[in-house]
Structure 1
Amino acid sequence: MLTIEFQGSIHFQVPVEMEMAVKTSSDLPPVHSPHRISEAALRYTEGPFGSFISQEIRTTDWVINWIHSFINHPVTLETTVSQPMVTLCSVLQGSHSWQLHGEHQHVNLQQHTSQFYYVPADMPHEILLKKGTHQLMFVSFSPDYVGVFSDLHPWFRDINYKLLQQSGKAAVLPACFLGKTELDVLDSMQKSPQQGVKKKFFLHARIVDMVVLYISALSKNQAYTSGEWSTENRIINIAEYIRQHFSSPLTVPQLSRDAGMSVSTFERAFKRVFGESPLNYIVECRLQEGAQLLAGTTIPVKEISNNVGFSNPNYFTTSFKKRFGITPLDYRRNGHIAEKI
């Protein structure tokens, strides 16, 4: 029996005027080896703007594209699709602006969000990548597979109809925020050690998980259209600020002022987006960095405590034991490797 793989996928291309200065390869430079996904077809592109890695795994029902980009100078890439498709885009790092044919405005792809699109084929689509590191994952579905879950929500029926009609106008469904559960699923997809058929079965199950979580968010009115991003954008930006400055003195009143909200509104919004209070988020960032330093250096515990933002070493030890179940010294002796948030 001949099995024909689903041929739909999203491709990123540099502008024509840059082509002469761009190099592509199926080999990955050693500096980027941590981003290698096992059993995925790989394409590495490097140019004046920086570089990006495109990796792909496909089956008869779906194609997964992982995009890691390292941008030194802002660049607009052309995005092309080989046939009309429905795709789920998850933004793991960075924020992006995507111009889809038929949309009057750019679609803003925000960090830690997930969103379904109908993308027409042979149409001009563009994505703007700003300076920095970006990470995206696209899951594109075959028409038969979209039909399986099209009855689960009215919005899916709409994009399924566009797909069947091969409409020339793009469609965008509301965005949902990626909480810890969703981020853990996406992380497991990148790091899955399985091989061959087992790997594809594992990825298929995780794709189903993401679709179910997305539909659940729609059903609970936890999805947001492009006109409703203001509060969530500010919260995401504050969280990014925390991750970059957790070792500095941070207070919830200060962060709420930076977000332009009252303390109570800020705390409610932050918990809705990230599932925990801003104070717990700050402490978690500090503890994760402390765990990394304990596992990878010989810096004294008291100094680590100060370096990651704890003014009181005893509070660091108490918080660390509550989070990891053992003291910082025992953690170091056991040679643990800290998880990353």
Structure 2
Amino acid sequence: MGETLIEVKDLELHFKQKSSKLFSFHSDCLKAVDKVSFTIKKGETFGLVGESGSGKSTIGKAILRYYTPTGGEIYYQGTEIGHRKESQMLPYRKKMQSVFQDPYSSLDPSHTIREIICEPMEIHRLYTAAERKEKAEKLIEVVGLKKVDLYKYPHEFSGGQRQRISIARALSVQPEFVVCDEPISALDVSLQAQIIHLLEELQDQYGLTYLFISHQLQVVQKLCDRIGVLYLGSILETSDSAALYKKPLHPYTKMLISSILPPDPTVNALDEIVIESGVQKRTEGGCKFKNRCQSCMERCRHEPPSLKEAEPGHWVACHLYEKSHEITGS
């Protein structure tokens, strides 16, 4: 790992929404993603964690260009793709694939598994029909299923098997980068472990780079090399996985990690952290976490903190670390 594959720089995504005020037809603007910056190095797994509604999936879809950014830039190996025309995106769509949360709705029920796996190859005009069939036979075995399964339909498989099929489909065009958007949250615990192990094996085998989006901190800790903590559309902290879990800096990250049930219930390195109840609430001005933060100062209510390097390789957006150097990315 060393070369930067993906760079997200000051990414903004705004969506119009109807006003909640009675008899009002005014459209408000929701800032789903607010000046988010991070990099993903080739061959690594970068995790995005946060509560529902924090903007994790929106960022993943923006990188895949399902959304056009309102502001900021997205680079793929140094080429800006965030604002490229749709007609110019086809080569990048081959390089970037996705595995989504719900294996029950992401597979076309009217197609056989062979047709599902071969479809991306057909779209990108790869190989002959015979070669596509051969590739599908190989991929279905790579993900732990059998060749005979190619002639079945999605309804004949369990949730874990369907997710394996989704992974095979993503790999069919030999991508470099895969967005894994909550790929195991719809599965039971035993199946989750199997899919995580499969993703790790495939990364080693094919040299894949992952953006792994999840709200399950235990999973992210195991799978990811580096992690970004997201809250209301903003990155609050980024670090390598081991450092983040050993010594979280932002009060929100501490809350998240303290909520993980330890293997030994008598041991909890963060048991002094009180978990604040409440929901994410968007307010104007200041730190976005101010209404739930026990360490909130007067400054936090008016001045939004910038992402700073508090320790080598460990960035945090919090006024408690003002001696650090301000940055624009991570």
Output the TM-score relative to the length of structure 1: 0.26
Q: Which has the higher contact order (CA 8 A, sep 6+)?
A: 2
Richer in helix (by share): 1
| TM-score, scaled relative to structure 2 | 0.27
